[in-house]
Structure 1
Amino acid sequence: MFFDSQNKINSFENPIDYIEEHIYKFGIDLFRDSPNLLTLNFRGQWRNYKVIFSWDEYNQIISVSSHFDINKKEKISKNIYSLVSIVNEKVNLGYFHFCSKVKTVFFKYQVSVKGFDFLNQEQVEDLLNVVTKECDKYFPAFYLYFFKKQDPKYVLSASLIETYGEA
């Protein structure tokens, strides 16, 4: 990191430094796994999410990912891929994917920061907000799928209520 004449942080070589500095101010539990990896626990609407920020220095990309701490020991039907596909058509930024190895759903979002010397506070908040907003919105659908009925159309219609206008 670089400092100006007033000893304030001016820019970071590694954006994870700034993300850590900003998130630390809010008293959120975080852990610096390595110079390019930051893990934190963030409270969403439905539960706490483990959010991971990683920095790819070569490509200058920040990746933000989270996973639903839900998994089912029994067999999960292949319809999970249909559900993920339908959900991904509705997601504004990022994407969900099902990992068959750990039998849970992950959300991932990536941002290129080529040409930027620093991240501002709003950008860091946006990175975190995108993850929590999308995870909060679609968590009920995946939860219903895992524990109630493995029918993608049913769980989406039962869990998503789209609102239009004001009441």
Structure 2
Amino acid sequence: MRAVDAKFEVEEDAAPLDMLVALFEARGWPCEATAEEISGEIQGSWAKYQLRAIWRGEDNVLQILCLPDIRISNEKQAAAQELVALANEQMWLGHFDIWSNGGVLLYRNGTLLGSDGLLGLDQAQSLVEIAVEECDRFYPAFQFVLWGDKDPRDALKSAMVDAAGEA
């Protein structure tokens, strides 16, 4: 058994959705789960994100979706698609996409688990943290394009500027 925090313990490795439910509960993040999916909310640096995990047991694939509650209007589709392509070039794991049904921006990452189909705590934490960090990292660029009418390349450059020193 391994502690997720002082109140919650899980097996070393567990069924993916069981592990994620334990992680959400330990962090105090609200969530709902079914046999194939967990859905919950996580506060990021810029916004509250809906995080969903979908388990496909027949393939041993866990898909993580993180939705920053950004809808893209028809007039902004071209600029948003260009920014998605530019952002995806910067990423090692997962990618951004825009659902054709409703123009919803999302981060998506599919993870192939081993033949036992189990997920470890470290991997569960990493998958959730990566999803939220990537949404946080690119959220300002999408804001610049969608609400500030910036060019996608300029928006990405502006959003990727790291602060130097300490305040």
Q: TM-score range by the shorter chain?
A: 0.7 to 0.9
Residue of structure 2 in register with 1:30 after alignment: 31
Gaps of 5+ in 1: 1-7
Query: What is the 5 A alignment of 1:88-167?
Result: 88-116=88-116, 118-162=118-162
Q: Secondary structure at 1:25's aligned position in 2? A: helix
In structure 2, the CA distance between the partners of 1:11 and 1:93, relative to structure 1 (3 Å rule), is: closer
Shift of 1:70: 2.0
Shift of 1:117: 5.5
- Aligned-pair Cα RMSD in Å: 2.2
Residue of structure 2 in register with 1:84 after alignment: 84
Q: Secondary structure at 2:110's aligned position in 1? A: strand
Shift of 1:113: 0.7
Bigger radius of gyration among the two? 1
How many corresponding residue pairs? 157
Gaps of 5+ in 2: 1-9
Aligned partners of 1:147, 1:42: CA distance in 2, in Å? Answer: 23
Aligned partners of 2:138, 2:53: CA distance in 1, in Å? Answer: 21
Q: Secondary structure at 2:108's aligned position in 1? A: strand
Aligned partners of 2:12, 2:154: CA distance in 1, in Å? Answer: 51
Q: Secondary structure at 1:149's aligned position in 2? A: coil
- Relative to the length of structure 1, the TM-score reads 0.83
Task: Note if contact 2:98-2:106 (Cα within 8 Å) is conserved in structure 1.
Answer: yes
